[in-house]
Amino acid sequence: GPKVLQIPSHQIIDMGQMVTLNCDPVSNHLYFYWYKQILGQQMEFLVNFYNGKVMEKSKLFKDQFSVERPDGSYFTLKIQPTALEDSAVYFCASSLPTGGAGYAEQFFGPGTRLTVL
């Protein structure tokens, strides 16, 4: 089936540095999402993105976070500067529009494990 790819699979950085997480969504999808999952905890929504704009974001989407998808390439999540509490697995997802039927299966990538030291 359709695949979402995430690069890198694991990233280790020092606190205060900038990091960019890359997501290669399913080719014909138009909605893009980032979720955060701290080890052993529930997955939580960060942000969704459509037509070059953030559609909705949660309180976890701090000012240090930004997303973009320049020219239809990777959908990226940038954190600048990073903090210790940003250590988590970040999952990217993509979907088609719902078409009014409420059905918009989100396809998830395998996640990027971010470790902030």
Under the binding rule (CB under 8 A), the answer on residue 104 touching other proteins is: yes
For 8-103, where are the E strands, in sequence order?
Answer: 10-13, 19-24, 31-37, 43-50, 53-57, 65-68, 75-79, 88-95
Among 26, 88, 111, 114, binds other proteins (CB under 8 A): 111
**Nearest by Cα to 2 from 94, 99, 113:** 94
The alpha carbons of the chain give a radius of gyration, in whole angstroms, of: 14
Residues 3 to 62 in contact with other proteins, rule: CB under 8 A: 4, 31, 33, 35, 42-45, 48, 50, 55-56, 58
Query: Closest CB to other proteins among 84 and 101?
Result: 101
Query: Closest CB to other proteins among 50 and 81?
Result: 50
Q: Pull the structure tokens for residue 108.
A: 């998830």
Binding site for other proteins (CB under 8 A): 4, 31, 33, 35, 42-45, 48, 50, 55-56, 58, 91, 93, 95, 97-98, 100-111
